[in-house]
Structure 1
């Protein structure tokens, strides 16, 4: 699992990443520090789905105000709970009755909620423990070492964000 790149993850689970071209570029942004937990979650989801993949796929893997913004679709199944992410807290809100959903759908929903909570405290660059804050510019989930790399509020953390993104040109 260690060392997954976006391309390796998408090759391992092509059904989870069906979007192409511009649509893919807008939907999937991979951060180096979040790759291992994401890869583990994809492995877990694949096992939960078993042979029936239920047309599961990610519709969004992004960051918003320092927190993960994850979306998925699964044939015939809807999310029954969601985490509402604000820069300083996570609040769980129940949606539809869980009784209307298959146990596998509930288990996948729970695994994705766990991933969202875990990523909130992981540095997007290195995966170390972090805290979401905006003390040096935009909201970001960065460990103290990577927060210190910022050149100050006028730099808008450009170099840190670029170093966090994973690219297929040999970078992890």
Structure 2
């Protein structure tokens, strides 16, 4: 069984419903798995119809989108000029302690992907490589000749 299959078997309620896409990166899988464990602990016996809708990379870091009951988390990324990256987030159910805790877990996991190599899990930083943002360590960074800013 692959690590992803093990995770899905451990938390079946989080997976198996309608999804947009699920893209896993080896280096970030432990971060995502830890978020699943923490969310499961917060939910306790009442799983509140929680499930992942999309797991992906965006602008070099992980994005973990979920639904909880009829509520969904809204995240909008904006990119402009050098270093001009802004993220606008709307909480799942603002003011609801469980939703606030889950939002904080997901925020923390996404932030950790910005300092963890998506390939191997080593320390890394997010950079632009030929116009694409990647968070990779020196061993997995594209060759310098391919690292031109657009």
Deviation for aligned residue 1:126: 0.8
Q: Equivalents in 2 of 1:83, 1:119: separation in Å?
A: 17
Greater percentage in strand: 2
Deviation for aligned residue 1:39: 0.7
Q: Which residue does 2:6 correspond to in 1? A: 8
Greater percentage in helix: 1
Q: CA RMSD in A?
A: 2.9
Say whether the 8 Å CA contact 1:137–1:152 is kept in structure 2.
Answer: no
Q: Which residue does 1:129 correspond to in 2? A: 123
Pick aligned residue for 1:98 from 94, 98, 102: 94
Number of corresponding residues: 143
Deviation for aligned residue 1:129: 1.3
Q: Which has the higher contact order (CA 8 A, sep 6+)?
A: 1
Say whether the 8 Å CA contact 2:66–2:72 is kept in structure 1.
Answer: no
Within a 5 Å distance, the mapping from 1:3-152 to structure 2 comes to 5-19=3-17, 27-79=21-73, 84=77, 86=79, 88=83, 91=86, 93=88, 95=90, 98-99=94-95, 102-136=96-130, 138-147=132-141, 150=143, 152=145
Q: Can you give the 5+ residue segments of structure 2 that lack an aligned partner in the other structure?
A: none
Deviation for aligned residue 1:46: 0.2
Q: TM-score, normalization: structure 1?
A: 0.70
Q: What secondary structure sits across from 1:139 in the alignment? A: strand
